[in-house]
Amino acid sequence: MDKSEILDAHDELDLYALHYIYLPAIQASLNEFVNQWNHHGVRTMHSISPLALWYSEVIEIGVTDVNIGDITLYGIDPDGPVGDIETENMVVVPESTINLTENQVSEIRRLVPDPLSDDSNHGIHHYLTVRN
């Protein structure tokens, strides 16, 4: 989009439109990845999924007060060592600082109520609708 001059990465309105359309799609993809990862069979564990391994461990040690909300932290030791952050491969996503009125936000939601809906052009039509 940048090469075809549809997107100006320094324009606040363009960034707002980009975020409105593409951040939900990126988040949906990340959620799907996590779901698939947690349910895939681990070959070295007789094709049992990480989620099933977690449940079997809970049952084996007899934990009765399991908070299912903690499953997102499975395998994370908050008191463990923190690895070095690699800055060479980091992507910086600038926040949009544009201040829209409630009427403008309502109009955007009316024009593109579901940013995840298929516009047959990878979201570009939705982006242009919001931007214009």
Percent above pLDDT 90 for the chain: 36
Q: How many domains does the chain have?
A: 2
Q: Write out the two tokens for 106.
A: 């309502």
Q: At what angle do helices 12-39 and 50-61 cross, to 10 degrees?
A: 60
In this structure, are 30 and 63 located in the same domain?
Answer: yes
Looking at the structure, tell me whether residues 71 and 30 fall in a common domain: yes
Q: Tell whether 85 is covered by a domain.
A: no
| Between 95 and 106, the higher pLDDT residue | 106
Indicate whether 33 and 72 sit together in one domain: yes
Question: Whole-angstrom Cα distance, residue 70 to residue 12?
Answer: 38
Reported as a single tens digit per residue, the pLDDT across 32-88 is: 998 888 888 888 888 888 888 877 877 777 766 655 566 667 677 778 887 777 777
Domain presence at residue 12? no
What does the pLDDT read at residue 67? Answer: 59
| Residues 31 and 72 placed together within one structural domain of the fold | yes
Q: Give the pLDDT confidence score for residue 71 in this predicted structure.
A: 66
The mean pLDDT value for 10-24 works out to 90
Answer with the residue of higher pLDDT: 19 or 96: 19
Mean pLDDT of the region 84-97: 73
pLDDT of residue 60: 77
Average pLDDT, the chain: 84
Q: Nearest 5°: CA angle at 85, between 84 and 90?
A: 160
Residue 70's pLDDT is what? 65
Q: Which residue range forms the structural domain that includes residue 59?
A: 26-76
